[in-house]
Structure 1
Amino acid sequence: MDQPLQWVGIDVSKATLDVYLRPSGQSFQAKNQASGMIELIEQLQSFKIGQVILEATGGLELEVAQALQDQGLAISIINPRQARKFAKASGKLAKTDRIDAAVLAHFGQAMQPAVTVLASANEQALQETVTRRCQLVEMLTAEKNRQSSLRGRMRQDVNDHVEWLEKRIRELDDEIEQLSQAHDQWRSQLALLTSVPGIGKVIATTLIAALPELGKVSDKRISTLVGVAPLNRDSGKYRGSRTIWDGRANVRAALYMGALVAVRHIPVLKAFYSRLVSQGKAKKVALTACMHKLLRILNTMIRDGKPWQPPTLATEED
């Protein structure tokens, strides 16, 4: 008889990997190091694996996920919030590493989440560099806000730090430029994206690094991934306001900055924004709608490989 498909949940901690297989109910633990990953793969080879489910745990999950993907196994890295809500919905209120692994396996079997394709070494390098630049920019903003409230030696200390941060950000800009230009596909995408009013190199590189799905999935899917798709909140006769939820905050922040410029320089977005505001929409809500529309434009451009063309006013009604 053919073996039944097994759904594997792996709870990743700094020291260990707790593994649970469903529906067989087998479980074991391995060390979160090279020898433990070899043991894990050897154990799984005796089963017919449907999918391996892991939680995003600040990067701790990436090494084992990469090792499993290299062995040809389908993996899915999910948001911990999804797993916890699923656990509560299925009556699993207690929380241990073994229980968490079992919940992940159950989630995989019941929900069959989309397969996660991990970035290549070059993609990871670009993502990490862009992420680090964002972190330094946030630190720079915080330090500049402190300058006016400080005096004497402490103010000079902040000034020195500001100077260092600005220098380091310029260095990271050079690194990002080198990384993005070294890859033919990225170079082509960068040229397409930066042709759009409001999309500069920083925003374009953030999109390439943090949203590799751009141009590869539907408009609806890309909007959900970023977190700019308006979601219904209805129940019975009640009709709640549509809200955005979840998504990739770093991409959304970059897109927000691009939309601020785009609504002034892209006629169709300018008209769309003005119409929403004239209908009584809050300016932030109107701008979010423009972010949604701009993202769809960018997704289409990358998908079709066509340079920027100003959309017609008819697109406003899409």
Structure 2
Amino acid sequence: MMTDDNIGIDISKHFLDAHRLSDGGTATFPNAPGGFRALVAWLGRDVPARVVFEATGPYHRSFERAFSGKPPFVKVNPLQARRFAQACGTRAKTDAVDARMLASFGRALSLEPDQPVDGEQFDLRELFSARGALIKDRTRLINRLKTQTLALIKRQTKAQIDQLTRQLQALQHAINEGLRACPARARANAILRSIPGIGEVAASTILIEMPEIGTLRKKKAASLTGLAPMTQQSGKWQGKARIQGGRKSLRDALYMPALVATKHNPDMRDKYIAMLKQGKPKKVALTAIMRKLIELANALVKADRTWTPNPT
């Protein structure tokens, strides 16, 4: 039975600290499969309105994977949760206090539960994370190669770069196979790839980092990417609107597609040129194209149709 209760769970490397708002009940469980089973027993048969926890990198992944699609999960930004606690006048920061504040945060803002994530999506995220780490390693080696002078060291560095390149190709192949294994993702991937500027890597990044693609409102898609301009105004002062927040890896992945789109996507090219003629800086104009791309991608996936040029 669904209730209006709110559960907060503070996740650390070794423990899960839980707090239930309705009766103030608290409990601590190991952050391990045995602890997950004990948490299920503690939650009972009644389904709460939401279970709120912070994104804590590697510490929350096993927990999220074990429970995804069962209780109504809400994963929140740690900075937002901390600011909520400060706004409530809470200065202490312990695991028990954090769990209570997370439950209060969920109730006060009536946070909407996240969409359930299936096991394949978790596998894709892990592959994507490994790919990102290899890219950083290869970039570091390429930069180091530019300053090396000894032939032996240069040969070793080039060999390491070649090995990382092969590993990156293998990871991208595994990602592509994972996307093809699910008909819905395969169809969304085909739609994204039909948009001029969005290639293999950008399409897979969108599908992995924004699994909600195709279910979002226009402004929500831009906001999640961190590409929605935020107004800055106080009294008579009017500042420049700026982008902020959002999913950085997704935003980074849209940079090169936006550049390509300004040359090979007629609609985007016309929009880009028009903004430059209006005196907009190139960076601002390119950011607008990135926003248009993710909004277009969301709209096409929602409509289940590939991109076609506008008739002239």
TM band (smaller chain): over 0.9
Distance in 2 separating the partners of 1:212 and 1:171: 22
SS in 1 for 2:291: helix
Q: After TM superposition, give the deviation of residue 218 of structure 1 in Å.
A: 0.7
State the match for 2:209 in structure 1.
Answer: 210
C-alpha distance after superposition, 1:109-155 (max 9, x if no partner): 10122212342111222222223222222221221111111122433
Q: Paired residue for 2:72? A: 74
Checking the alignment, whether the CA contact within 8 Å between 2:65 and 2:119 is kept in structure 1 is no
Q: CA offsets per residue over residues 223-261 of structure 1, 9 Å max, x none?
A: 111111111111111111111111111111111111010
Question: 1:92-131, aligned counterparts within 5 Å?
Answer: 92-131=90-129
Query: Is the Cα–Cα contact under 8 Å of residues 230 and 243 in structure 1 kept in the other structure?
Result: yes
Which shifted more, 42-51 or 235-244?
Answer: 42-51
1:261 aligns with 2:264: no
Aligned residue in 2 for 1:250:
249
The answer as to whether partners of 1:268 and 1:312 remain within 8 angstroms in 2 is no
Cα distance in structure 2, aligned partners of 1:64 and 1:184: 27
The 2-side partners of 1:3 and 1:300 are apart by 33
Q: Which amino acid in 1 is paired with 2:125? A: Q
Query: Could you list the per-position Cα deviations for residues 268-299 of structure 1 after superposition, in whole angstroms to 9, with x for gaps in the alignment?
Result: 21121122222222211110011111111111
Give the aligned length: 311
CA distance, structure 2, for counterparts of residue 86 and residue 148 of structure 1: 47
Any idea what SS the aligned residue of 2:283 has? Answer: helix
Cα deviation for residue 190 of structure 1 reads 1.7
> In the TM superposition, what whole-angstrom CA distance separates every residue of 1:67-97 from its partner, at most 9, and x where no partner exists?
4445x32110111111011111111112111
Query: Structure 1 residues 30 and 267, CA, compared in 2 at 3 Å: closer, same or farther?
Result: same
- Which blocks of at least 5 consecutive residues in structure 2 are unaligned? none
- Aligned residue for 1:60, secondary structure, equals helix
Secondary structure of 1:11's partner? Answer: strand
Q: CA deviation at 1:5?
A: 3.1
Q: CA RMSD in A?
A: 2.0
Would the alpha carbon gap of residues 4 and 141 (structure 1) be closer, same or farther in structure 2, given more than 3 Å must change?
A: closer
Structure 1 unmatched runs, 5+ = 314-318
Cα separation, 1, equivalents of 2:161 and 2:301: 37
Deviation by residue 1:25-55 (Cα, 9 ceiling, x = unmatched): 2212112122222221111116662211000
Q: Which amino acid aligns with 1:293?
A: K
Tell me if 1:223 matches 2:222.
yes
Alignment of 1:155-194 (within 5 A): 155-194=154-193
2:45 and 2:270 map into 1 onto residues whose CA distance is 61
Identity over aligned residues, as a percent? Answer: 33
Q: Which moved more, 1:154-163 or 1:104-113?
A: 154-163
Tell me whether 217-226 or 263-272 shows the greater mean CA deviation.
263-272
Matches within 5 A, 1:1-318: 5-45=4-44, 49-69=48-68, 72-152=70-150, 153-311=152-310
Q: Letter of the aligned partner of 2:163 in structure 1?
A: W
